[in-house]
């Protein structure tokens, strides 16, 4: 059993070159961009020696099978699991804020455009090189280099968590919004393969149309202002 695609593909390659028969299960298999050309050829060569692939979005089953040239019956959706972190939910009521985290395939440009007319206190945690490309506003705090514990503490105190995603082909953003749901923090996220199978719109979170600042603004405004809705979504999301 391997974890992450790089190790799985390396094991598959070794298995083919050494003619071994050891069964291989590729867990947590998320290859991000389905690049054609030589990368796909190598992936197909290695994938032929892998028995089962575990993905964390139902939307990835068919595309991954087609990309790697394997049967869809070999690609299995199992929801991403996150632990109970033992950090109590305690919203910062005096200085409430919107929190967004992550670096992989994030659509922060649309999120910032959505928030500009509202200008709520907003904290964005991402890589330093990404921060350098984003607009600066007095209501946005950019942070980088935080520990996992620091990120969880920020999450526990946020009024709501926003996960804007630009990846419409494979799963991105799941760790962030699943962590938030696990902690009972209300979630707004982009409707995409990453949220498929996790966020039920209006039930366990609010979904926004991809690259649609107006729709995202409406969803964030609704959740920001409606405490009853925040409590309902948070309570239901913890059971997912």
Assess contact for 120 and 98: CB atoms under 8 A: yes
Q: Is the pLDDT of residue 154 over 90?
A: yes
Q: What per-residue confidence (pLDDT) applies to 82? A: 84
Supply the mean pLDDT for the chain: 94
Q: What per-residue confidence (pLDDT) applies to 231? A: 94
Quick one: which of 112, 134, 85 has its CA closest to 213?
112
State the sign of the Cα–Cα–Cα–Cα dihedral 179, 184, 187, 192.
positive
Q: What is the 3-state secondary structure (H, E, C) of 63-116?
A: HHHHHHCCCHHHEEECCCCCCCCCCCCCCCCCCCCEEEECCCCECHHHHHHHHC
Q: What per-residue confidence (pLDDT) applies to 238? A: 80
What pLDDT, in 10s, does the model give residues 156-206? 999 999 999 999 988 999 999 999 999 999 999 999 999 999 999 999 999
Residue with tokens 């699991």: 81
Q: What per-residue confidence (pLDDT) applies to 140? A: 98
**Kind and range of the H or E element at 54?**
strand 52-55
Confidence band for 81, pLDDT divided at 50, 70 and 90:
confident
Q: Is the pLDDT of residue 239 over 80?
A: no
Please state, in angstroms and rounded to a whole number, the distance separating the CA atoms of residues 209 and 190: 6
Q: What per-residue confidence (pLDDT) applies to 44? A: 95
Please state, in angstroms and rounded to a whole number, the distance separating the CA atoms of residues 185 and 234: 6
**Kind and range of the H or E element at 177?**
helix 174-183
Q: What per-residue confidence (pLDDT) applies to 31? A: 84
How many CB atoms within 10 Å of residue 225?
Answer: 10
Identify the DSSP state of 60.
G
Q: What per-residue confidence (pLDDT) applies to 2? A: 93
Please state, in angstroms and rounded to a whole number, the distance separating the CA atoms of residues 13 and 39: 13
Identify the DSSP state of 59.
G
Tell me what percent of the residues of the chain surpass a pLDDT of 90. Answer: 88
Q: What per-residue confidence (pLDDT) applies to 96? A: 97
pTM of the complete model: 0.87
What pLDDT, in 10s, does the model give residues 110-146? 999 999 999 999 999 999 999 999 999 999 999 999 9
State the average pLDDT over residues 91-103. 96
What pLDDT, in 10s, does the model give residues 6-28? 999 999 999 999 988 999 999 99
What pLDDT, in 10s, does the model give residues 210-219? 999 999 999 9
Please state, in angstroms and rounded to a whole number, the distance separating the CA atoms of residues 197 and 205: 12
Helices 148-157 and 174-183, axial angle in degrees (round to 10): 50
């Amino acid at each position: 059993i391997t974890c992450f695609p790089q190790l799985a593909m390396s094991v598959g390659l070794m298995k083919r070159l050494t003619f071994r028969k050891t069964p291989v299960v590729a867990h947590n298999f998320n290859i991000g961009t389905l690049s054609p050309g030589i990368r796909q050829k190598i992936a197909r060569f290695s994938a032929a020696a892998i028995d089962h692939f575990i993905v964390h979005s139902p939307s990835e089953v068919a595309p991954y099978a087609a990309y790697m040239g394997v049967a869809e019956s070999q690609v299995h959706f199992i929801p991403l699991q996150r632990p109970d972190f033992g950090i109590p939910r305690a919203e910062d009521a005096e200085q409430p804020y919107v929190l967004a985290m992550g670096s992989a395939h994030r659509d922060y440009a649309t999120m910032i455009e959505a928030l500009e007319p509202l200008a709520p206190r907003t904290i964005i945690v991402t890589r330093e090189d990404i921060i350098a490309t984003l607009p600066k506003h007095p209501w946005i705090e950019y942070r980088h280099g935080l520990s996992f514990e620091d990120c969880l503490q920020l999450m526990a105190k946020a009024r709501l968590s926003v996960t804007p995603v630009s990846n419409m082909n494979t799963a991105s953003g799941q760790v962030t919004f699943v962590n938030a749901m696990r902690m009972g923090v209300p979630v707004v996220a982009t409707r995409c393969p990453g949220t498929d199978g996790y966020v039920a719109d209006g039930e366990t979170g609010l979904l926004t149309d991809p690259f649609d600042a107006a729709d995202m603004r409406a969803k964030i405004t609704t959740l920001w202002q409606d405490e009853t809705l925040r409590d309902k979504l948070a309570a239901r999301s913890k059971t997912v």
